[in-house]
Amino acid sequence: MTGQPPRRAAELLGQARRVVVFTGAGMSAESGVPTFRDALTGLWQRYDAQALATPEAFRADPALVWGWYEWRRHAVRLAHPNAGHRAVAAIQHRAPGTVLITQNVDDLHERAGSPDPVHLHGSLFAPRCASCARPAPVSDDAEGEPVDGRRVPPPRCAHCAAPVRPGVVWFGEALPGAALEAAVEAASSCDLLLTVGTSGLVYPAAEIPQVAARLGAAVVQVNPEETPLDGIAEVNLRGPAARVLPALVDAVWGGADG
């Protein structure tokens, strides 16, 4: 995509009555947050990310896994929402009732002004007890030193003294039931789904755009690369979200900034 977004995408967004925005790792990567498939950096490159992100890894070495997630959370704290995040917030402001569904576990959408995103894969900022599942507080480490390659014993639950775990969905775990139900309901009733920066490969989250398409909604995809979602998208906008989404918002609402 060069210049202004294709007119059809702007028409679809401008005419839609029920909009869903579905975002993936590509959007946060534009803010410098590594995607899960990126090679680990620093001392963490000695480890396999997929091997750390499992319930079995946490049971075997909770301090190692907690240290890695503390490192990830610190990295997110240092990142900033990009123009794509702000454009999503502008869409929500200009099209009331827009539902934002994200596969990302950071808080960049919230910091850009998006209210109550549906977090399909949980959040780095919502740790919970590994036993009783009660929410646990998260420390503000924005000014602290990064935890690079170090084991950090997880805190203990204030209610049952079990270790606190990261509030994300690990390999082998089901998606949060309430979040998945909300996402499917939104996709089932929308007339436009805007999918941004997602590979379309991670299931069951990748089903969300397909649910919308099967039930008659238009799908507009924003991604620099081809994905398995190309075939169901009515419009494919090639380019980074931080460039494409502000242009789309400008085409529909004349530079609205939310």
47 is in an annotated binding site: no
190 is in an annotated binding site: no
> What gap in Å lies between CA 174 and CA 192, rounded to an integer?
27
User: Taking phi first (over 0 means left), then psi (-120 to 50 degrees means alpha), and beta for anything else, what does residue 83 get?
Assistant: alpha
198 is in an annotated binding site: yes
152 is in an annotated binding site: no
157 is in an annotated binding site: yes
**CB half-sphere exposure, 30, CA atoms < 13 A:** 24
β-partners of residue 122 are 168
Tokens 């929308």 map to which residue? Answer: 190
**Number of CB atoms found within 10 A of residue 169's CB:** 20
38 is in an annotated binding site: no
Tokens 């789309």 map to which residue? Answer: 248
113 is in an annotated binding site: no
**Number of CB atoms found within 10 A of residue 190's CB:** 26
> What gap in Å lies between CA 154 and CA 213, rounded to an integer?
42
> What gap in Å lies between CA 117 and CA 100, rounded to an integer?
5
Query: Which residue in 74, 85, 109, 121 is the catalytic one?
Result: 121
132 is in an annotated binding site: yes
* C-alpha dist (Å) from residue 125 to 51, 106, 167, 174, 220: 21, 7, 7, 19, 30
> What gap in Å lies between CA 111 and CA 93, rounded to an integer?
15
72 is in an annotated binding site: yes
- Let me know if 121 is a catalytic residue: yes
Q: Are 1 and 227 in contact (CB under 8 A)?
A: no
> What gap in Å lies between CA 7 and CA 5, rounded to an integer?
6
List residues forming the annotated binding site for Zn(2+): 129, 132, 157, 160
Binding-site annotation, residues for substrate = 69, 72
Catalytic sites, residue numbers: 121
Binding residues for NAD(+): 103-106, 197-199, 223-225, 241
- List the binding residues: 69, 72, 103-106, 129, 132, 157, 160, 197-199, 223-225, 241
